[in-house]
Amino acid sequence: MRLLHTMLRVADLEKSIEFYTKVLGMKELRRADNEEYRYTLAFVGYGDEKDNTVLELTYNWDQDSYDLGNAYGHIAIEFDDIYKTCADIKAAGGNVSREPGPVKGGTTEIAFVKDPDGYAIELIQKKEDMSRF
Ligand X SMILES: C[C@@H](O)C(=O)SC[C@H](NC(=O)CC[C@H](N)C(=O)O)C(=O)NCC(=O)O
Catalytic residue list: 122
β-pair partners for 79: 125
Nearest one of 29, 32, 35, 24 to 4, comparing CA atoms: 29
Between CA 45 and CA 107 the distance in angstroms is 27
What is the sign, positive or negative, of the torsion defined by CA atoms of 69, 71, 77, 81? positive
Q: What residues numbered 79-98 form the site for ligand X, per CB under 6 A?
A: none
Decide whether 7 or 68 has the Cβ nearer to Ni ion. 7
β-pair partners for 123: 77, 111
Kindly state whether residue 39 participates in binding ligand X, applying the rule CB under 6 A: yes
Q: Is 56 annotated as a binding residue?
A: yes
- Burial zone of 57 (CB within 10 Å; 0-12 exposed, 13-18 middle, 19+ buried): buried
Which whole-number Å values give the CA distances from 49 to 8, 72, 98, 110, in the listed order? Answer: 17, 24, 30, 26
- How many residues at the interface with ligand X, by CB under 6 A? 8
Q: Could you tell me which stretch among 34-42, 77-85, 94-102, 120-128 binds ligand X (CB under 6 A)? A: 34-42
Decide whether 5 or 98 has the Cβ nearer to ligand X. 5
Interface residue with ligand X, options 13, 56, 86, 121 (CB under 6 A): 56
Q: Is 74 annotated as a binding residue?
A: yes
Binding-site entries: 56, 74, 122
Which residues carry a binding-site annotation for Zn(2+)? 56, 74, 122
Contact residues: ligand X, CB under 6 A: 7, 9, 37, 39, 41, 56, 58, 60
Q: Which residues bind Ni ion (CB under 5 A)?
A: 7, 56
